[in-house]
Amino acid sequence: MRTEESGAGIKDILAGAVRHCPDVTDALLADSQGVLVESYVDGGGADPEELAVQTMAAVPALGRIAASARVGRPSEWLMVGDKGTVIVHRVGSLELFLILRVPAEEFVGKARLAARVLCGRLVEVLS
């Protein structure tokens, strides 16, 4: 159950992602239904609630692709467009997903690593 204390911790973790990884402009936490739990938006451009809904709408198709490829349950995926990249990472065994947005001209490797670290921190705060 989310409390005000954990909510503040989540916001701090998401803000830290943007502060410590300047390649990230937006950091969102959404549940599996696309409901936005928390967000920290630094770069603008994307509507956080719409991004959460549309990202989670893709999960069933990604599950079918993963099953066809026999790679197991998806834990991370990227969508690369001509204006940027969206990185989605499952938060541990929780039905929550970290969503990071990175502009097109930025390197996504550092942001992917940050997502893995952040997910560990989120599990600690939410457990």
pLDDT for res 7: 53
CA–CA separation, 7 vs 126, rounded Å? 9
Region 102-109 average pLDDT: 87
The token duo for 8 is 């503040």
CB 39 within 8 A of CB 17: no
CB neighbour list of residue 48: distance below 8 Å, 6 or more residues apart = 26, 28, 36, 39, 41
The continuous run of DSSP H or E covering 84 comes out as strand 84-90
**Which pLDDT value is given to residue 54?**
92
pLDDT digit string (tens) for 15-42?
888 887 888 889 999 999 999 999 988 7
Full residue range of the structural domain in which residue 84 is found: 4-126
Q: State residue 32 phi and psi, 5-degree precision.
A: -70, -15
The number of folded domains in the chain is: 1
Q: Which amino acid is at 42?
A: D
User: What CATH number is associated with residue 37?
Assistant: 3.30.450.30
The pLDDT, as a whole number, for residue 5 is 44
pTM here?
0.86
